[in-house]
Amino acid sequence: MTAKRKAKPKKTKSEKDKIAKKAEVKDNKAKTKAQKKQFAVEFYRDWCKGCGICVAFCPEDVLAMNEKGEPEIAKPERCIGCAWCEIRCPDFAVRVEEKKEEEVCEA
């Protein structure tokens, strides 16, 4: 007994359209990601007491504590602009702002 292989059914036009639409959606997501808003985090060092609350609340791990026990911007490209660090800072020592288009460097 030899096993017969089943012929693969040919894709219909609607199935091909679905595949093309999925590819288009992926392309659009990639373009949107490239056009993503970018944000800048600033510290007022004179006001900061180094409590680390901003670091603890950052959902994207943008901020980290350095050797001196001060917060620093470790991964600025990951900032999503949620401003949790700014809102939670008891000393008002953090500021988050959206970068303007001329400030954004496209490589």
Tokens of 86: 């700014």
pLDDT tens for 9-52 read 666 667 777 777 776 766 666 555 556 789 999 999 999 999 99
**Per-residue confidence (pLDDT) for residue 29, from 0 to 100:** 62
Report if pTM > 0.75. no
CATH code at 37-98 = 3.30.70.20
The domain locations on the chain are 37-98
Question: Where does the pLDDT of residue 89 fall: very low under 50, low under 70, confident under 90, or very high at 90 and above?
Answer: very high
Tokens of 104: 């954004």
Question: Where does the pLDDT of residue 102 fall: very low under 50, low under 70, confident under 90, or very high at 90 and above?
Answer: low
Tokens of 70: 């001060």
Tokens of 95: 């500021």
